[in-house]
Structure 1
Amino acid sequence: MTDPGAAAEPWRAEVDALAARARQALEAVLPPPEVPPARIHEAMRYSALAGGKLLRPVLVMAAARCVGGPAALTPAVERAAAAVELVHTYSLIHDDLPAMDDDAMRRGQPANHVVFGEAMAILAGDALLTLAFEVLADLPRWGVDPAVAVQVAAELARAAGTQGLIGGQVDDLAATRGAPVDLATLRSIHRRKTGALFCACVRIGARLGGADAAALEALTAYATAFGEAFQIVDDILDVTGDEAELGKPVGSDARRGKVTVPGLVGLEAARRMAAEATERAVASLQPLGQRAAVLAWLARSLLQRRR
């Protein structure tokens, strides 16, 4: 297999195009700001359209195209990709709350609770989460087999629940409050808090694109390693990153006493671990050949990530 990460610029342009489609899909599924109750819709849109990388919806669409070709990029896939971003945004709003991570900035702007107040931020997060499943429940109207739509909804629900994102956050909070954490425990937290949603993205796209069992297995292995690399790099950036580029304060992990990979093994070892996870992600795509070029490029781009 030719190294799909070698020719960067064509893949960057494709990823940018997918991100633009994701943003259009988000605009389409979010309630208009003037529809009553306007304040909650304004709060939802404030965070969902704040200019994030849209990496998760891009992964949904790239996985669908990987297994189903260009024809797989249907409006249904775009809407499913938007649903994933709604769940991600809900999690960010709630993570930033004073009861959680107590962060005042997100994506280069004041956090939702700073602008709208804590009560409205909680409701905005709740509304984004419920809207995501409303969007998925509507997929049969967009041509998706109802059985596949159920599988897709189940993928996202599992990733967002107590065995995924929420469970990871519970253990992350416990670790911040002094519970002992070794590297194996930290990896478990990361697999759930960060990695589970990445796995759901890729598996949702694969299911909507018509993946067979072998392709679904390969893409799941890719997403698992991708999520590991992403979180390690995120931990590294909290130590070494530039606040203006990140769009949020650096050093917040250390201030909160949060256990991170660099904190446990040191920066250089953390960088090696990120590189190893990236290589595992790319290697997992081998059975899919050049069809997986964009996914491979996305994995390799993690090591150059600055925000």
Structure 2
Amino acid sequence: MSGLCDGRVTVVTGAGRGLGRAHALAFAAEGAKVVVNDLGVAPDGAGASAGPAREVVEEIRAAGGEAVAHGGDIATTDGAASLVATALHTYGRLDTLVNNAGFLRDRMLVNLGEDDWDAVIRVHLKGHFLPLRHAAAHWRAEAKAGRAPVARVVNTSSGAGLLGSVGQGSYSAAKAGILGLTSVAAAELGRYGVQVNAIAPAARTRMTETTFAGAMAAPDDPAAFDAMAPANVSPLVVWLGSAACAGVTGRVFEAEAGRITVMEGWRPGPTAEKSARWDPTEAGEAARKLLAEAEPPRPAYGAP
């Protein structure tokens, strides 16, 4: 390994399994000291176990790295504050925050209960905001004290946040919200030496194992490329979490298998204008003409 993150301290939420585990291992392999956060819940958020986070810590230590487990709920103020405090008390600094924790409670909108909506929005969107807020407060204090950080935040959105996904209204809304949060954080925190970016990954995890069950390396060929392995996403995350990505902020990347794409987001398209208020019929006629000139939207995942 290149030692890209030598001397840096990285926090990864939801790091007990799947993408988070892959990120934690990849950061450790590049020299980072890692705070491994995980509640150890089921794919729908039920239950809790300290086992997954401990196992990742043990794996990192067995490979010669440094890591500590954190089992707090990062969608609470106390849990997010203790997450940042664990990094500072254990290693004396915090350089990178990777927001990754989440779970699914998929329902079609007409069957989606308020409690399930709230739970998914809470873990994904609030679970990004609170760790980011507490980390940012630390970095701002460091910058004001004359110790300008070289800080990095990597948020985790999804193709569902970019395009929508049938049966995933709450998840799509939360992941779209993370994109907005990323843009605002990048604009507000740059003055303190903080860069904030987001990824929209695709990989085989507990949340996607049904979708990607067939997309894996041939079992009789260990050398075959497993296109949907979570570890394929981690190299980009490590780079975005390192000092090497200087000048890159407020961007969104799709990452899947061996492919990396810079997403360009909402941009103004065809426009009509008049010097007075439109009436509804005129507005409709103008809108139809503009739509005829515009690029059609990509369909939501799962749309017919």
TM-score of the pair, normalised by structure 1:
0.33
Higher relative contact order (CA 8 A, sep 6+): 1
Larger Rg: 2
* Bigger proportion of residues as strand: 2
TM-score of the pair, normalised by structure 2:
0.33
